[in-house]
Amino acid sequence: MIGHTMDYSCEPDHSTHLVVRGEHPFNAEPMAAALVEFKLTPEELVYCRNHGPVREFDPEDYIVTFKAFGKQSKMTINAIKSLFPTVESVNALQVSSLHPSPIQVSDIQSPVRWDKKN
């Protein structure tokens, strides 16, 4: 929306182990040296790339409305979660987006560090 001011007052606390690149919206990344210390990235070192405010909610009170085929159903987040078994998986994610500097051909043979200060 043009002219709409986003409300960041309910934004949850973020990890102090990240290097903040932008406050509103919140964008932060771990130091490269911290990432190589772990086989699996701990939650406090996960990249944060938001496009607007993030807020926390109570999964027992927050209602989701589903509409399809002329019918409507409402459920809490906890009710939805109770319908499915909990599954844990290890994933590797690669984000493709605009980068602060162009990728050079020489970067393809070596790891790319987007922030040269890190």
Tokens of 60: 């027992």
Give the per-residue pLDDT at 101. Answer: 58
Global model pTM greater than 0.85: no
DSSP state of 99: -
Task: Return contacts of 32-36, CB within 8 angstroms, 24+ apart.
Answer: 32/113, 32/118, 33/118
Which residues, in sequence order, are bridge partners of residue 52? none
What is the block-wise mean pLDDT of the chain (118 residues), using blocks of 10 residues? Answer: 74 88 88 87 88 87 94 95 92 66 50 50
Whether the CB-CB separation of 118 and 31 falls below 8 Å is answered with: yes
SS3 64: strand
Give the per-residue pLDDT at 41. Answer: 87
